[in-house]
């Protein structure tokens, strides 16, 4: 539509990202943190995390269990751990709530608090401002970035993992549930890097291979000096274009950096790749963002 573009939307199209401070209230952030505490309290540790490493064959079975657990997590609430937090018997070396890396990938469908946030009127209104006609929610994640061990996320484009034809149809909503600072692992972006397509894709591997996914193509070496940090305070939202290059560093601080993030696809005239690890299921077709 050829209407007036607001300055912030112009900025988003220029940069490939947009920072909206104080988009959610402190109360909304705290309700998400309480909801995740409730989910962790009821967590059963996945069996593949508990098996003992011994023979090569068992390691392969463990890897396969782990990959099946990941591949079938699109319509469930599942738990993913930081490296080195379990001993060889699968017992936690640190408290379990401090060991989780992320919880995904269908919080938006199965938990009332995350569902309410994902479909909140201000998110829907933003979708309309962005000109989204038939947005659907494809996945959601709660990311902990634990103090001291929250690992770095290397430079990447979300469309590497969530591929569409044509490109440019995937959008991330990234919500800071605590202040995100340079010390605790805020996001870094290369402004304008969303205009050159993608160089790497993660695709489902052929059945029977030992890994569940494989990468096609490679990530170029990015120039570190091109990245700018985007610290943001609690309640802030960062909109992330599917092809913009971004990363986060290791959390070396003693405070966590909790985030709730979800991805939306403009479904109008778009096809979702059958090779993506994440697929809609009969139990959970991608729900409309608009209610």
Instruction: Please report the pLDDT score of residue 87 as a whole number.
Output: 83
In a domain, 122, yes or no: yes
| C-alpha torsion 99→153→36→23, nearest 10 | 150
Question: pLDDT for 215-257, tens place per residue?
Answer: 999 989 999 999 999 999 999 999 999 999 999 999 999 999 9
Sign of the dihedral through C-alpha 194, 196, 200, 204: positive
Q: Is the predicted pLDDT of residue 258 greater than 90, yes or no?
A: yes
The Cα-based distances of 4 to 10, 18, 126, 157 in angstroms read 10, 18, 15, 29
Q: Is the predicted pLDDT of residue 165 greater than 90, yes or no?
A: yes
The Cα-based distances of 97 to 43, 256, 260, 261 in angstroms read 10, 12, 16, 19
Q: In the block, which residue shows the tokens 């790497």?
A: 200
Q: Is the predicted pLDDT of residue 1 greater than 60, yes or no?
A: no
Question: pLDDT for 39-96, tens place per residue?
Answer: 999 998 887 777 665 677 777 777 778 888 999 999 999 999 888 888 877 788 988 8
Instruction: Please report the pLDDT score of residue 115 as a whole number.
Output: 98
Distance of CA 210 to the CA centre of its chain: 24
Question: Mean of the pLDDT values across residues 125-150?
Answer: 95
Instruction: Please report the pLDDT score of residue 47 as a whole number.
Output: 78
Instruction: Please report the pLDDT score of residue 82 as a whole number.
Output: 86
In a domain, 263, yes or no: yes
Instruction: Please report the pLDDT score of residue 5 as a whole number.
Output: 67
Residue (of 123, 233, 239) closest to 176 by Cα position: 233
In a domain, 287, yes or no: no
Per the CB < 8 A criterion, the answer to whether 233 and 179 are in contact is yes
Q: Is the predicted pLDDT of residue 132 greater than 90, yes or no?
A: yes
| Residue 291 burial (C-beta neighbours within 10 Å; 0-12, 13-18, 19+) | exposed
SS3 sequence, 97-153? Answer: HHCEEEEEECHHHHCHHHHHHHCCHHHHHHHHHCCCCCEEEEEEEEECCCCCCCCCE
The tally of CA atoms less than 13 A away on the side-chain side of residue 166 is: 5
The total domain count for the chain is 1
Residue (of 234, 70, 44, 191) closest to 139 by Cα position: 70
Instruction: Measure the CA–CA gap between 30 and 178, rounded to whole angstroms.
Output: 9
Instruction: Measure the CA–CA gap between 16 and 175, rounded to whole angstroms.
Output: 16
In a domain, 277, yes or no: no
CATH code of the domain containing 136:
2.60.120.620
Provide the 3-class DSSP secondary structure of residue 266: strand
In a domain, 98, yes or no: yes
Instruction: Please report the pLDDT score of residue 52 as a whole number.
Output: 63
In a domain, 154, yes or no: yes
Provide the 3-class DSSP secondary structure of residue 265: strand
In a domain, 25, yes or no: yes
Show the domain range for 261: 7-272
- Angle in degrees, CA 145, 150, 156, rounded to 5: 80
Question: Mean of the pLDDT values across residues 23-51?
Answer: 92
In a domain, 234, yes or no: yes
Instruction: Measure the CA–CA gap between 223 and 226, rounded to whole angstroms.
Output: 6
Share of the chain above pLDDT 70, in %: 97
Instruction: Please report the pLDDT score of residue 3 as a whole number.
Output: 54
């Amino acid at each position: 539509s050829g209407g007036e573009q607001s300055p912030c939307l112009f900025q988003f199209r220029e940069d490939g990202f947009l920072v909206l401070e104080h988009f959610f209230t402190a109360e909304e952030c705290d309700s998400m943190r309480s909801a995740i505490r409730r989910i962790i309290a009821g967590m059963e540790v996945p069996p593949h995390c508990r098996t003992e490493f011994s023979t090569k064959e068992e390691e392969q079975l463990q890897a396969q269990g782990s990959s099946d657990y990941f591949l079938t997590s699109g319509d469930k609430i599942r738990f993913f751990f930081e490296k080195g937090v379990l001993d060889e018997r699968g017992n936690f070396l640190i408290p379990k709530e401090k060991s989780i890396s992320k919880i995904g990938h269908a919080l938006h469908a199965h938990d009332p608090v995350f569902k309410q946030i994902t479909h909140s009127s201000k998110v829907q209104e933003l979708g309309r401002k962005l000109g989204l006609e038939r947005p659907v929610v494809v996945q959601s994640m709660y990311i902990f970035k634990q103090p001291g061990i929250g690992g770095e996320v290397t430079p990447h484009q979300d469309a590497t993992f969530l591929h569409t034809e044509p490109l440019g149809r995937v959008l991330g909503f990234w919500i800071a549930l605590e202040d995100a600072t340079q010390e605790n692992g805020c996001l870094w972006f290369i402004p304008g890097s969303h205009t050159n397509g993608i160089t790497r894709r993660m695709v489902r591997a052929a059945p029977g291979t030992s890994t569940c996914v494989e990468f096609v193509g490679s990530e170029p070496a990015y120039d570190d000096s091109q990245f700018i940090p985007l610290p943001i305070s609690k309640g802030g939202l960062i909109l992330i274009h599917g092809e913009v290059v971004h990363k986060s560093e290791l959390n070396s601080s003693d405070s966590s950096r909790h985030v709730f993030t979800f991805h939306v696809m403009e479904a109008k005239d778009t096809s979702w790749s059958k090779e993506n690890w994440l697929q809609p299921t009969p139990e959970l077709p991608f729900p409309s963002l608009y209610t």
